[in-house]
Copies of this chain bind each other. A is one copy, B any other.
Amino acid sequence: MAGSAQFRLLPQWIRETRGQTLQDDLLAGLITAVLLVPQGMALAMLAGLPPMLGLYAGILPPILYAILGSSRTLAVGPVSVAALLVANALAGQGLEPGDPAWIAGAVTLALLCAGILLLMALLRMGELTSFLSHPVLSGFTSGAAVVIILSQLPPLLGSDQGDWLPHAPTLALGLGCLGLLALSRSPLQRLLRRLGIGERLAMLLPRAAPLLVVLGATLLTALLALPEHGVDVVGDIPGGLPSPVLPGLDGQQLRDLLPAAIVISLVSYVESVSVARVLAWRRRQRIDSNRELLALGIANAGAAVSGTMPVAGGFARSKVNFDAGARTQFAGIVTALLVALAALLLAPLFKYLPLAALAAVIIIAVLPLIDLATLRRTWRFDRADSAALLVTFFGVVLVDIELGLLAGLVLSLAIFLWRTGHPHFAVIGRIPGSSHYRNVDRYEVETWSDLLLLRIDESLYFANTASLEQMVARHVADRPDLRHVVLICSAVNRIDHSALETLEALVENLGEAGLVLHLAEVKGPVMDRLRHSGLLERMHPGQVFLSPEEAVRRLHSPERAAVRSEGRA
């Protein structure tokens, strides 16, 4: 193997690492790790797993992504929506959180996600996810955030899910953490800025708040011996690094978990690639969707081998990484090493780590996911988009997370199909004194009694052929002088076989009524198609004109007066 080929096997960013970028990456990696450690433990709890597994999801997977991924700044690890979907899928299997079978199920899901993402990479199916529209994703994310917050209320309040009576010490601790975390966002930033601390530092320092709050709550719990007063804590758990496991594979369970794994894979991929694209644009870098599928697939395989749940590129965490100045994936490796250090050292703290503090960390982390802005904007711009968003949101919150997403997907496709199935048609006429042709309903134009110019504002395909036929029939009726019907095809980008048959039927049916069908402004690719179809021969004496103007010049008999003539005679 030649030296240059070997060099190619190394990721691009290694070749670009320099002194300054190294320093930037070190700082960004540190800040992201400080955020990830408490969040990772909290997300593991959300997924019904021991907190240590949340840290494990932040060690091997981001290192694998760093080597393979095409994004320089994507922070891969445990994410909230995937954690929720894992808990949802395993609860649906009748398992109990924390059981060995539950943990094995989470590992199986990570393995399935790895397989699905790698298969998608192999089949180059990344684009499939573009069928999840922005409003549907917005409704899904908002709905998932609401479900997550609701799921975290019992640990926050110290109540069982059966009765909703809060436990006073837990409630005080939980609300205290929540309040401190809320204050650490914009209020703290404003304060730091007023104190004359630099803009960047004012933005980054609050990122340490979750870690400080969790450490503080743990200290308080230990000092006041709160577990003796009924405050739930994580408890004794051995620390250490993940040791490679091979998950036992159960064919039946693989089949049962497959639908959930597909949803987790698609949503993880969409979340990862969207944030990767946004960040790449800012520095003129490119994201390769196939590389992303491959890298995320391998990262999930890494999660499975580490014995933990599926991972993805997190939206908020990647932005923190980017804003902290990350230049390359070296920052991701720094984060992973620091998280590994935390996994080695922090286990003794778990004995007094209160669940309420972790619940507060999750709630504050997912609160910004509730996206009212998109709802407001779609409401103004396109009610159908709002409908898709709302159906997804309420489906996720009230019915089922996966069914809600599916309902939104189906509804948004149905709306699109319905609209293309009911295209806009316009009778057009000439703006007097010009060769411009416009809709007779919008402009004062001249038309002719022997000639009908009909513009089709859609590609013709099976779902709208009936509309076309009915519309021609309607416009032809009660016009005894009519001789020529010209279909203006400037907006027809494609014609399928059903549409071709309909055009042939129109030629024949109009012919029996003594009318001739013509076409005008047919696009190149459509014309190529029609040439091979035999339609043009059947249309005889009908013709294909370059423009409506040419059609009028060749077809209109001057002895027939214009029907509506505003300009010249």
The segment from A320-328, A351-359, A494-502 that touches chain B is A494-502
Among B412, B493, B494, B497, contact of A378 (Cβ-Cβ < 8 Å): B497
Mark interface residues in A284-298 (1 if CB within 8 Å of B CB, else 0): 101000000000000
Q: Is A133 part of the binding interface, using a Cβ–Cβ cutoff of 8 Å? A: yes
CA distance A512 to B281 in the complex (A): 9
Contacts of A131 in B (CB 8 A): 417, 421, 462-463
CA distance A497 to B529 in the complex (A): 32
Query: Could you pull out 29 A-B pairs where Cβ atoms are within 8 angstroms?
Result: A130-B462, A130-B464, A130-B465, A130-B467, A131-B421, A133-B461, A133-B462, A133-B463, A133-B496, A133-B497, A134-B462, A135-B498, A277-B469, A278-B505, A281-B505, A281-B512, A284-B513, A377-B497, A381-B497, A385-B496, A412-B462, A413-B413, A416-B463, A423-B493, A424-B525, A442-B524, A457-B523, A458-B493, A490-B490
Q: Which residue of chain B has its CB nearest to the CB of A502?
A: B134
Query: Which residues of A386-426 are within 8 A (CB) of B?
Result: 412-413, 416-417, 419-424
Mark interface residues in A439-451 (1 if CB within 8 Å of B CB, else 0): 1001000000000
Among B284, B374, B421, B533, contact of A130 (Cβ-Cβ < 8 Å): B421
Q: Is A473 part of the binding interface, using a Cβ–Cβ cutoff of 8 Å? A: yes
Q: Is A466 part of the binding interface, using a Cβ–Cβ cutoff of 8 Å? A: yes
Report the minimum CB–CB distance from A496 to chain B (whole Å): 6
CA distance A512 to B413 in the complex (A): 33
Contacts of A525 in B (CB 8 A): 424
Q: A residues engaging B (CB < 8 A)?
A: 127, 130-136, 277-278, 281-282, 284, 286, 374, 377-378, 380-382, 384-385, 412-413, 416-417, 419-424, 439, 442, 457-459, 461-467, 469, 473, 477, 490-491, 493-494, 496-498, 500-501, 505, 509, 512-513, 523-525, 529, 532-533
Report the minimum CB–CB distance from A548 to chain B (whole Å): 14
Q: How many copies of the chain does the oligomer comprise?
A: 2
Report the minimum CB–CB distance from A298 to chain B (whole Å): 23
CA distance A377 to B534 in the complex (A): 10
Q: Which residue of chain B has its CB nearest to the CB of A384?
A: B496
Among B278, B381, B473, B532, contact of A529 (Cβ-Cβ < 8 Å): B381
CA distance A278 to B465 in the complex (A): 14
Contacts of A512 in B (CB 8 A): 281-282
Contacts of A384 in B (CB 8 A): 496
Q: Are A498 and B442 in contact (CB under 8 A)?
A: no
Given contacts A130-B463, A381-B532, 12 further A-B contacts (CB under 8 A): A130-B421, A134-B462, A136-B462, A278-B505, A282-B509, A380-B533, A381-B500, A381-B533, A385-B496, A385-B498, A420-B420, A439-B524
